[in-house]
Amino acid sequence: MCSASLRFGAWSLEFGVRSLGFVILKYLAHMKKMSLLLLTCVVILLSGCRESMQKSITTTDLVFTKEGELHLIKSISNDTIQSLDIEIADTDYDIQTGLMYRNSMQENQGMLFLFPEEATLSFYMKNTKIPLDIIYINKEHQIVDFKENTTPLSEESLPTAVPARYVLEINAGLSEKWGLDIGDRVVWE
């Protein structure tokens, strides 16, 4: 009798463990379904937020602000080649951003960069959407180098061949169109 009841007890214990295991497995399967449902809801909510955030982002065009006038003067004849309205970049921020993010610039406009002393300077076209001519100017206000028809958005370094103190950016192709040469002078007010 003792032997039979032990077997019965072992069978009960075995049956109980199997039942408990089954219940745990069902619970885990249910939790997996709930986790997937919760994850799906989170993904849907986040994608909805992203779409609404994208719709609310607006950009404004940067507009030209005239801060002076610049005159390009032929060195041989002392004739004015061209006069431009200019924006002046003389702060660290203005020098770093320059004409970045602009969509266009008129033919009679340019940006003049003012540096505290003459040095070998280098520019690039990162985040600059419009092709430019970059004109390097020394402390005597003479053109010393050109980088013509630069490639928009390029991060290629465009260094001057000789030291310069000022840099003028104008629309690409204008240096050639106006017949600018090394030695021509630049004055501004």
For the chain (length 189 residues), average pLDDT per consecutive 10? 45 52 60 61 58 58 91 96 97 94 95 97 95 98 97 95 97 97 97
Residues 143 and 85 grouped into a single domain: yes
Residues 103 and 122 grouped into a single domain: yes
- Pick from 58, 79, 105: which residue ends a domain? 58
Residues 22 and 109 grouped into a single domain: no
Give me the domain span that covers residue 34: 1-58
Read off the CATH number of the domain in which 174 is found: 2.60.120.1140
The Cβ-side half-sphere exposure at 79, using a 13 Å CA radius, reads 6
- Pick from 30, 58, 86: which residue ends a domain? 58
| pLDDT recorded at residue 63 | 86
Please state the three-class secondary structure of the chain as a single string.
Answer: CHHHHHHHHHHHHHHHHHHHHHHHHHHHHHHHHHHHHHHHHHHHHHHHHHHHHHHHCCCCCCCCCCCEEEEEECCCCCCEEEEEEEEEECCHHHHHHCCCCCCCCCCCEEEEEEEEEEECCEECCCCCCCCEEEEEECCCCEEEEEECCCCCCCCCCEECCCCEEEEEEEECCHHHHCCCCCCCEEEEC
| pLDDT recorded at residue 61 | 74
Residues 42 and 115 grouped into a single domain: no
Residues 47 and 130 grouped into a single domain: no
Residues 82 and 117 grouped into a single domain: yes
One-letter amino acid for residue 118 of the chain: E
Residues 77 and 108 grouped into a single domain: yes
Residues 87 and 38 grouped into a single domain: no
pTM: 0.69
